[in-house]
Amino acid sequence: MAQAGSEHAADDVLRASFDVGYTYQRLVGPVIGEFLTGLRDGKMQGIKGSNGKVICPPTEYDPVTAEECSEFVALPSTGTVKTWNWVNQPRPNHLLKKPFAWALVQIDGADTSLLHMVDAGSEAAMKTGMKVKVRWAAERKGFITDIECFEPA
Amino acid sequence: MSEQAKKVELIECPIVLNYNFSAGRAPTQFLRGMKQGKLIGQRSPLTGKVIAPPRGACPESGLPTTEEVPLPDTATVITFTIVHLPIPTSALEPPFIVANLVLDGSDQTFIHLVSGCANEDVKIGMRVKAKWKDQSEWDYSMDNIAYFEPTGEPPVDIEALKASRLEEAKRFLKAKAETK
């Protein structure tokens, strides 16, 4: 799909914004599907790996042994910031319209981390090891943005 | 099962690339013509062939094309396809016809819609004419032409058309050489 609008430029060459879009849809499969269904219902879930470790977000296969995972584990909506990066000037496509952190959040009870945003207010409020909790989106549809972001717990 | 109780199976993950497109000088001239309801091609100084819509250079020699050639809004269907899938941003209802057309007096094809007749009646070599939108809607856009519709003239033999175009280009080059 393409959309264009035209305007005059100082050098008399026509210019126009031109958006090229690909309307991809993705089948999520049984495991991510279950995870997203949980998010829609306000529940955090991980999955048990073959070594007993809990993987969150869940994967279909154990990252080490490649064995199929199937045992879901209910998790709380709290976690710990393992590492983070501060975004001073959000880009137009960023969902938070004010400075925020991208962070790897290890959900309590999980052994792996989830990439998401942390709305901490300021960079000074961010700390590796800080406790955070999920801020659920008001309207949820079964998507990763059902977690609006994390916020300091 | 209610929508809420259904397990999530599919997610929407569109990718949108936001370009600032610069038309360049030759397409700008072409689009200025379109704004006034005119089709203007450019002639290659090397081959004598007419390029419409022009890109500013002869595709065979790379030489800049500067000579403008006004063209009529009649064309011939060189090839076409019937599109059966809807285009998300288009109001067009499939099945519709996208055709590769060559304007009369031009040597280069371009893509546009063919409508105004049953899809089954569209044939290679069919003669068509631009169906312009209302002038109040004209912009710097090829979309000023809603689609091309059949003129009712007898179909054209594509090989004969190609041959006559080559003759035309040769005549032009010969005349040009003689005036020098």
Query: What are B102-155's pLDDT values in tens digits?
Result: 999 999 999 999 999 999 999 999 999 999 999 999 999 999 999 999 999 999
The dihedral over CA atoms of A50, A53, A56, A60, expressed in degrees to the nearest 10, equals 0
What pLDDT was estimated at residue B3?
54
Shortest CA gap B131–chain A (Å)? 21
How far from each other are the two terminal CA atoms of chain A, in whole angstroms? 43
Can you give the pTM of this predicted structure? 0.69
What pLDDT was estimated at residue A2?
42
| Residue among B11, B21, B25 whose CB faces A28 most closely | B11
The pair of three-digit structure tokens given for residue B130, joined into one six-digit string: 């631009």
| Least confidently predicted of A6-20, A35-49, A52-66 | A6-20
**Residue B113 phi/psi, 5° resolution?**
-90, 145
Residue of A14, A23, A45 to mutate, testing the B interface (most B Cβ within 10 Å of its Cβ): A14
Cα gap A134→A110, rounded to integer Å? 15
Among all residues of chain B, which has the CA nearest to that of A3?
A: B89
Cα gap B16→B7, rounded to integer Å? 27
The residues of A whose Cβ lies within 8 A of any Cβ of B are: 1-4, 6, 9, 12-28, 33-34, 36-37, 40, 142-143
Output the 3-class SS for B128-153: EEEEECCHHHCCCCHHHEEEEEECCC
Q: Higher pLDDT residue, A93 or A119?
A: A119
**Residue A126 phi/psi, 5° resolution?**
-90, 140
Q: How confident is the model at residue B2 (pLDDT cuts 50, 70, 90)?
A: low
